[in-house]
Structure formats: C-alpha cells, structure tokens
Amino acid sequence: MNKAVILAGGQGKRMNADIPKPLFTVLGEPMLEWVISACENAGISDICVVKGYQAEMLEEYLGGRYTTVLQAERLGTGHAVMQAIPFLEEGLGDDPDGNTLVLCGDAPFIDPDTISESLMLHKQNGNAVTVITADLPNPKGYGRILRTSGGGISGIVEQKDATEEQRAIREVNSGTYWFRTADLIGLLGKITDNNVQKEYYLTDTIAIAISEGKTAGAFKSENADIIRGANNRRDLFELNEYARREVINKHLDNGVEFVCMDGIIIDRSVEIGQGTQILPGTILRHGTSIGKNCVIGPNTTIDGCVVGNSVEMNTAQAYDSVIEDNVVIGPYVHIRPESRVKKGARIGDFVEIKNSVIGEDTAAAHLIYIGDSDVGRKVNVGAGTVTVNFNGIAKSRCEIGDYSFIGSNTSLIAPVRLGKGVYTAAGTTVTRDLPDYALAIDRGELKVKEGYTLRKLNTKK
Ligand code: UD1
Ligand code: CA
C-alpha cells in the first residue's frame, strides 16, 4: 500500500500570520485539504501530516482523520520527514517495496493524474526517489534540478545555495516526490544541515541516493501550474485567482453563462446546471449545487445549498437550505440554515427565513420574518408579518395551513397553529390556535376625533 507524508509544519513567516501556512485557504478550502484530496483521489489514504507551528490548530482542523506527527523544532523539510519514520516503518515488513509520496502542504494544485503517472515511472525505473519537476519562466525561490549530460538528474540545489549559473536553470523541484519507503528511511539518516540555511534538506536525498549507486529520476510535468506554491500572501492571492479562473472556465465549458468574472468566487466542489447565468458578485460555497436555467446574482452568496432549476436569486444570502424549482428570491433576502423553499414560492424583498418550510407557490414578498415555522402551499404572507418564535428563553414553532391569507403586520406568537384557509386581519396578534377557514381579527375600537389637529394648533397659539 502506498503512503503519503504531507509537510505542514512550517510557519510561513512571510505570510505574516499566526496560523500554520497550509491552513490558508484557496477557494474556501485550506491548501492542506487540496493536497489531501489529491492523494485520496489518487488512491492514497494512508496519510501522515507533519505538524509543527500552531500544531493544535492543524490537529483541530484534521479532527483525527489522519495520522499526525509533531516536528517540535523546524529544522527543514528533511527533518520534518524524519519525524514520520515510525509511520513509514509501519507495515514495511509485509511490503518491503512499498512507496511513499512526500508532498508540501503549501502547494495545493498537485493533481491525482500527476501522482499516478509519476508513480508508474518511479516503479518502472526501479527508482529510490522520483521528483516531480516543471519548467518555470520565473524559477526564483524554488530548488533547481541539476541534470547530468545524459539527461538524468544528479541533485537539487536550493535558491540560496545555488551559484549564478545554477540559478539560471528553469527546471524546478515541485516539492513532491515518490520514494521507495525503505530507501527513504535509510537516506534520511544521512542528510546533514551543512548549507546556507543550516537546515536538513529533504532534497539532499537525491544526490545521496545516487552516490550510493541507487537510481533517482525526475517526472517532468507539462503543466507548471500544478507545482505553484504560496510562500507569501501575494502568492496566495495568485493561487486563488488562478483557481477561480480555472473553476469558472470549467463551468463555461459545461454551458454556464458568465457575462464577466467580477467578484465571482465559486468553490471547486460547486455544481451548476447548463443554461444557468451567474451574475457579478456571486459567491458559491461548499457543496452548493445549482440546477439548470437559473439566474444567480448579482451580489448573492449561496453556501451549502441545493438549488433547483429555473430559480432566480438576486442580492440574496442562503445557507444550508434547499430551494426548489421556479422559486424567485430577492432582492435583499436572507435564507438561514435548515430551510426549505418549495416550488414556485416567491420570497423578498427584505425577508428573513430561518429553519422553516415555505410551501409551494407561497408568496412572502415584503418585509417579513419567518423563523421555526411550517408554512403551507399557496399562502400569502402579508408585508410586515413576524413569527414571534422566541420568548427570551425558548424557541417555538408556528404552523400556517395551506391557502391561508396572513394580513399585513400580523404577529404570530409561537407556539401557534393556524389551520388551512385561515385569514388574519391586518395588524392581528395571534395568541392561540385557529381552526380551518377561520378569520382572526384583533383590533381595538378605532376612535376618530374630528378636528383634532385644528384644535391642537389653536391652543398652541
Ligand atoms: C522546498 C524545497 C524546494 C522546492 C519547494 C517547492 C527543500 C529544502 N526545498 O522549498 O526545493 O522547490 O519546496 O515548493 O525541501 N516544512 C516543515 N518543516 C520544516 C520546514 C518546512 O514541515 O522544518 C514544510 C512547510 O510547512 C511546507 C513545506 O515543508 O509545507 C515546504 O517548506 P518551505 O519552507 O516552504 O520550503 P521551500 O523553501 O519552499
Ligand atoms: Ca514553499
């Protein structure tokens, strides 16, 4: 079984932050998660994450999903892998030719195909180590690949240790390598910190392997983007921008319409149906799926929602909810978690829905709060209606039956249940259950004092 070790111990000093660098996000997901999912999608789930700086944060994020080891002091990438030796040794007796992939937690775009193809080359050539490389127009900051006259590799030299001549080399180390696990353990024992940075470089394993008569090779990726990493916030910004464009391009290819890309951020897990139009300022997060022929945006955030076909959402926020076909939402609507807006409903403007079901073809069109409620079908909820779901201590539910007509400025004091076909007069405060087809009207006698204004003005004179 193949293993992976992900290096995530570094602080990322140049990020100017107090969280571990691999937890910085690209399109809403930590870079570490991108690396983990590339491993998983390449069929590697025996993963060890090396933690160091702010290790607790990393542990908390992983929530026990994978093995972690602590690198108490950051003495370099080689030193980081040394901490994982017990993990590497596990099961080695049964699988003496097993291989381990080592990756950096700050280079999110490594992809499953590159991982699998490089493993094939690694095995075919019987390599002790195979490094994944690419040519970069601007290789500054990366380790450079040293080639022999025959085209093989002889080692890797870090930017800081490189001569002028070596710095001109454009082929760089991605920071991802396949090692024959048994060889890796042996090689780790031989690296030293004899270099400009006084660090134990993992990259030194290559020259050492060759000096021992083992074979080392390189797998050169055609696509240099897969090796892009983030050492500072500018890099991180570039990674986000790159990923953002890639995702939008994928949706364009699938028949989604974008007039422009301004302010549009779509997480890579989001699905969008053909013929849907995404307008500026739309942010689609975590696991959202959107059906066909919708118009989403402008200025709309949808997070963790399932949205049906032919839905319109304008200037809305929706979280962890279901929005069925042909619903029209907005402008200025907030759909809070655990809500379901059924087919053909119309919500907005200035409406908040929380933990509620809105029935088919129901309209809640202006200035309304519906919380912890079940609203039936073809209900008309008048402007200014409020479900009074919280008494300061506990939350309770309201129920409104099908075909009801809730007059403007009705307050429903929960818990309360309205049957079907119920009317409430404008301004009514409903404090008890109403049977089917009832009218509730709660009004003091209207007093009219004629000539009041004139009298008031006269006394003042
Ligand atoms: C490293 C490589 C370089 C390569 C580049 C690709 C070495 C010596 N250099 O350089 O050849 O081109 O990656 O991005 O390996 N880390 C630890 N513990 C440490 C040091 C680092 O866990 O003590 C982790 C970091 O969190 C990071 C990864 O290892 O995820 C790479 O470390 P970083 O300091 O960014 O290495 P580079 O200088 O970029
Ligand atoms: Ca780096």
Residues enclosing ligand 1, CB less than 6 A?
7-10, 21-22, 50, 52, 71, 74-77, 79-80, 104-107, 142-143, 156, 158, 172-175, 201-203, 229, 231
Q: Which helix (H) or strand (E) holds 147?
A: strand 144-147
Q: Is it the case that residue 461 has pLDDT exceeding 60?
A: no
pLDDT at residue 460 in the model:
59
Rounded to the nearest 5 percent, the helix, strand and coil shares of the chain are: 25, 30, 50
Strands in 304-424 per DSSP E:
306-307, 312-313, 316-319, 322-323, 328-329, 333-335, 340-341, 346-347, 351-354, 357-358, 363-364, 368-371, 373-375, 380-381, 386-388, 398-400, 405-406, 411-413, 416-418, 423-424
For a mutational test of ligand 1's pocket, the pick from 104, 171, 173, i.e. the residue with the most ligand atoms closer than 8 A to its C-beta, is 104
Q: What letter represents residue 237's amino acid?
A: F
Expressed in angstroms and rounded, the spacing between residue 1 Cα and the centre of ligand 2 is 28
Q: What letter represents residue 208's amino acid?
A: I
Q: Which helix (H) or strand (E) holds 155?
A: strand 153-157
Expressed in angstroms and rounded, the spacing between residue 175 Cα and the centre of ligand 1 is 7
Q: Which atom of ligand 1 is nearest to the CA of 158?
A: 11
Mean pLDDT, rounded, of the chain: 96
- Examine residue 349 and say whether the peptide bond preceding it is cis (omega within 30 degrees of 0): yes
Which ligand is in closest contact with the Cα of 20?
1
Mean pLDDT calculated for residue range 46-57: 97
Q: Which atom of ligand 1 is nearest to the CA of 78?
A: 15
Q: Which helix (H) or strand (E) holds 188?
A: helix 181-188
- Kindly give, in sequence order, each residue whose CB lies less than 8 Å from that of residue 329, ignoring residues fewer than 6 positions away: 311, 312, 313, 314, 316, 318, 323, 335, 341, 346, 347, 348
The pTM of this model reads: 0.91
pLDDT, tens digit, for every residue of 144-173?
999 999 989 999 999 999 999 999 999 999
pLDDT, tens digit, for every residue of 253-289?
999 999 999 999 999 999 999 999 999 999 999 889 9
- Tokens 């807006």 belong to 341
pLDDT, tens digit, for every residue of 10-44?
888 889 989 999 999 999 999 999 999 999 999 99
Q: Which residue's CA lies nearest to atom 19 of ligand 1?
A: 76
Distances (CA, A) of 34 to 80, 249, 342, 450: 20, 19, 35, 74
Q: Is the dihedral of CA 244, 247, 252, 257 positive or negative?
A: negative
Mean pLDDT calculated for residue range 388-414: 97
366 is catalytic: yes
For residue 145, give the 3-state DSSP assignment: strand
Share of the chain above pLDDT 90, in %: 95
- Kindly give, in sequence order, each residue whose CB lies less than 8 Å from that of residue 45, ignoring residues fewer than 6 positions away: 39
How wide is the angle at C-alpha 185 spanned by C-alphas 231 and 74, nearest 5°? 35
Domains in the chain and their CATH numbers?
3-227 (3.90.550.10), 233-440 (2.160.10.10)
Q: Is it the case that residue 84 has pLDDT exceeding 60?
A: yes
